[in-house]
């Protein structure tokens, strides 16, 4: 049910300088979706009356993600005054005049934060008399965070940013998680009093705490039990640390749902992938994008699948596949490369050192060894000989090949597209198929073989080969 007394402000206007990236920090992928998408999903789950997201740096790219993930959010453009305090000031101004209640502020770079943590945080704040509550944490590494300064009695006094902290303050082990709940009026009053009088020349949201205390208001800091929940991402080292934590959670979730993951440390599963019970994932495997894996399938070892559909009981071993459909009971690899548009039907096979692209392979058909299948349709129950190339490109245009059902093609064929091979046809080894082959025909076009008797002994006398030939009874 919508919380009519709750407004959420998501801060997403920062530049993310410490990432040293041309991609805005909040759009860096984490488990296959932008960092900010995790925060927007959490905000959405809280079902607040109003959500405002503040953008500035690369605003159009951020706005596109917000429009997709949290369309109910109002988007506010931060002006040239820097700092989290300014961002919140402008967001508050965008709230409707008739709104009364609490304002939850979340940094856009705290992606592991979940709705349960926030719900209990909101409950604690509302049960207290505080005009502001700050979520705090005691992580092993406090570097980069603002520190929670408490007075002699242990009461929360203010937040000092790392860059403004004294040596003593730098030793404080409790940090500001970047998540705050404010009474709207108290917040609005103090935002007006923020200055840029600090080492970074920014309006710090964190200074609101000290201002509220000065005005006689009560503020509290509530520590989270597990500090990883509020891990903030400022640089790429923190990005990979956070990704590892999230991946461990995702893998464990699938394990508890009935998926065997032999080696969680070397298995990466994106947020949007779905796996059925009794799927087995072997070491060194990445299940990326919106991949779907059906029951009984075995994927890995050393396999990357992106946006693929893998059917029940299929086996995919040492393979790289993107936008491919692998039918139930089918077998892929080892060492296969499936490019977009590959559709391997049930019980089919794409074997060792085989590359496929825009290839529809019928039920039970096999491409077992050392082949390239591009822009092709293969019927049911066909077998493509080892070392076959579908020559789909004439140097200017791509053309399709159509291979019928129950076709048997010889080893080391070239199919020069556009070409059709009819149902039940055969081709000989080494055939370069340039003309259509009618159903049931055998196509051969290799030159007849000529054996020149005694050639080795005459032309390579005394060699091991010549001696072996001399000794041979043939």
Distances (CA, A) of 309 to 59, 136, 257, 344: 34, 42, 19, 10
Q: How many whole angstroms separate alpha carbon 49 and alpha carbon 114?
A: 18
Is residue 371 reached through a cis peptide bond, with omega within 30 degrees of 0 on the bond before it?
no
- Residue 118 site contact among ligand UD1, Ca ion, none (CB < 5 to 8 Å, cut-off depends on kind): none
- Residue 385 site contact among Ca ion, ligand UD1, none (CB < 5 to 8 Å, cut-off depends on kind): none
Cβ proximity to ligand UD1, 82 vs 327, nearer residue: 82
To the query of whether residue 5 is one of the catalytic residues in this protein, the response is: no
Work out the number of other CB atoms within 10 angstroms of the CB of residue 47. Answer: 14
Quick one: which of 58, 109, 270, 375 contacts Ca ion (CB under 5 A)? 109
Comparing CA positions, the residue from 231, 295, 300 lying closest to residue 264 is 300
Contact residues for ligand UD1, defined by CB under 6 A = 11-14, 54, 78, 82-84, 86-87, 107-110, 145-146, 159, 161, 175-178, 204-206, 232, 234
Instruction: Give me the residue whose beta carbon is nearest to Ca ion.
Output: 232
Comparing CA positions, the residue from 400, 389, 388 lying closest to residue 359 is 400
Give the contacts of 146 (CB within 8 A, at least 6 positions apart).
Answer: 159, 160, 161, 162, 175, 176, 206
Q: How many whole angstroms separate alpha carbon 336 and alpha carbon 356?
A: 8
Applying CB under 5 A, the span of 109-117, 428-436, 437-445, 450-458 interacting with Ca ion comes to 109-117
Least distance from ligand UD1 to the Cβ atom of residue 200, Å? 8
Least distance from Ca ion to the Cβ atom of residue 233, Å? 7
Binding of residue 232 to Ca ion (CB under 5 A) = yes
What the block records as the tokens of 112 is 């592991």
Comparing CA positions, the residue from 20, 12, 136 lying closest to residue 76 is 12
Least distance from ligand UD1 to the Cβ atom of residue 166, Å? 16
Least distance from Ca ion to the Cβ atom of residue 107, Å? 6
**Site size with Ca ion, rule: CB under 5 A:** 3
- One-character DSSP codes across 111-162: TT--HHHHHHHHHHHHHS--SEEEEEE--S--TTSPEEEE-TTS-EEEEE-G
Bridge partners of 430, per DSSP, are none
Cβ proximity to Ca ion, 144 vs 223, nearer residue: 144
Exposure of 164 by Cβ count < 10 A (0-12 exposed, 13-18 middle, 19+ buried)?
middle
Applying CB under 5 A, the span of 84-92, 108-116, 183-191, 221-229 interacting with Ca ion comes to 108-116
Cβ proximity to ligand UD1, 28 vs 86, nearer residue: 86
Applying CB under 5 A, the span of 67-75, 105-113, 205-213, 435-443 interacting with Ca ion comes to 105-113
Cβ proximity to ligand UD1, 59 vs 406, nearer residue: 59
Comparing CA positions, the residue from 180, 178, 174 lying closest to residue 137 is 174
CA dihedral of 130, 134, 139, 141, whole degrees rounded to 10: -130
Least distance from Ca ion to the Cβ atom of residue 347, Å? 51
Applying CB under 5 A, the span of 157-165, 230-238, 290-298, 435-443 interacting with Ca ion comes to 230-238
387, 369 in Cβ contact below 8 A? yes
Least distance from ligand UD1 to the Cβ atom of residue 90, Å? 9
Cβ proximity to Ca ion, 139 vs 329, nearer residue: 139
Binding of residue 102 to Ca ion (CB under 5 A) = no
Q: Which of 5, 369, 399, 406 is catalytic?
A: 369
- The contact pattern for Ca ion, residues 52-91, with x = CB under 5 A and - = no contact, is ----------------------------------------
Active site positions, annotated: 369
Which residues of the chain form contacts with Ca ion (CB under 5 A)?
109, 232, 234
């Amino acid at each position: 049910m919508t919380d009519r007394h709750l407004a959420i402000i998501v801060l997403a206007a920062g530049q993310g300088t410490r990432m040293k990236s041309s991609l805005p920090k909040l759009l860096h992928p984490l488990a296959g979706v932008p960092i900010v998408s995790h925060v927007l999903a959490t905000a959405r789950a809280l079902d607040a009356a109003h959500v405002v997201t503040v953008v500035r740096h690369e605003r159009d790219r951020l706005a596109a993600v917000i429009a997709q993930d949290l369309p109910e959010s109002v988007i506010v453009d931060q002006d040239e005054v820097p700092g989290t305090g300014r961002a919140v000031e402008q967001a508050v101004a965008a709230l409707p005049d008739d709104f009364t209640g609490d304002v939850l502020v979340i940094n856009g770079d705290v992606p592991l934060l979940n709705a349960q943590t926030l719900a209990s945080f909101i409950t604690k704040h509302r049960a207290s008399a505080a005009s502001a509550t700050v979520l705090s944490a005691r992580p092993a590494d406090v570097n980069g965070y603002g520190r929670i300064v408490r007075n002699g009695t242990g009461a929360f006094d203010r937040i000092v940013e790392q860059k403004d902290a004294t040596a003593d303050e730098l030793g404080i082990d409790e940090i500001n998680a970047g998540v705050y709940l404010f009474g709207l009026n108290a917040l609005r009053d103090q935002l007006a009093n923020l200055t840029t009088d600090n080492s970074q020349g920014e309006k710090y949201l964190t200074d609101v705490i000290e201002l509220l205390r000065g005005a006689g208001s009560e503020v509290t800091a509530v520590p989270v039990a597990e500090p990883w929940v509020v891990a903030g991402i400022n640089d790429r080292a923190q990005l990979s640390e956070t990704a590892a934590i999230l991946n461990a959670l995702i893998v464990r979730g699938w394990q508890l749902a009935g998926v065997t993951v032999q080696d969680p440390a070397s298995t990466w599963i994106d947020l949007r992938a779905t796996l059925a019970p009794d799927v087995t994932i072997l070491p060194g495997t990445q299940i990326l994008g919106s991949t779907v894996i059906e029951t009984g399938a075995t994927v890995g070892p050393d396999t990357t699948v992106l946006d693929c559909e893998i059917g029940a009981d299929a086996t995919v071993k040492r393979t790289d596949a993107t936008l491919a459909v692998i039918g139930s009971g089918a077998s892929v690899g080892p060492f296969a490369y499936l490019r977009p548009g590959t559709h391997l039907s049930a019980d089919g096979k794409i074997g060792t050192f085989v590359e496929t692209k825009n290839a529809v392979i019928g039920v039970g058909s096999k491409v077992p060894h050392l082949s390239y299948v591009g822009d092709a349709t293969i019927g049911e129950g066909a077998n493509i000989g080892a070392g076959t190339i579908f020559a789909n490109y004439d140097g200017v245009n791509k053309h399709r090949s159509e291979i019928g059902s129950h076709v048997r093609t010889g080893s080391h064929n070239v199919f020069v597209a556009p070409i059709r091979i009819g149902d039940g046809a055969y081709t000989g080894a080494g055939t370069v198929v340039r003309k259509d082959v009618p159903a049931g025909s055998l196509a051969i076009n290799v030159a007849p073989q000529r054996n020149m008797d005694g050639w080795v002994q005459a032309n390579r006398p005394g060699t091991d080969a010549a001696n072996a030939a001399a000794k041979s009874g043939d």
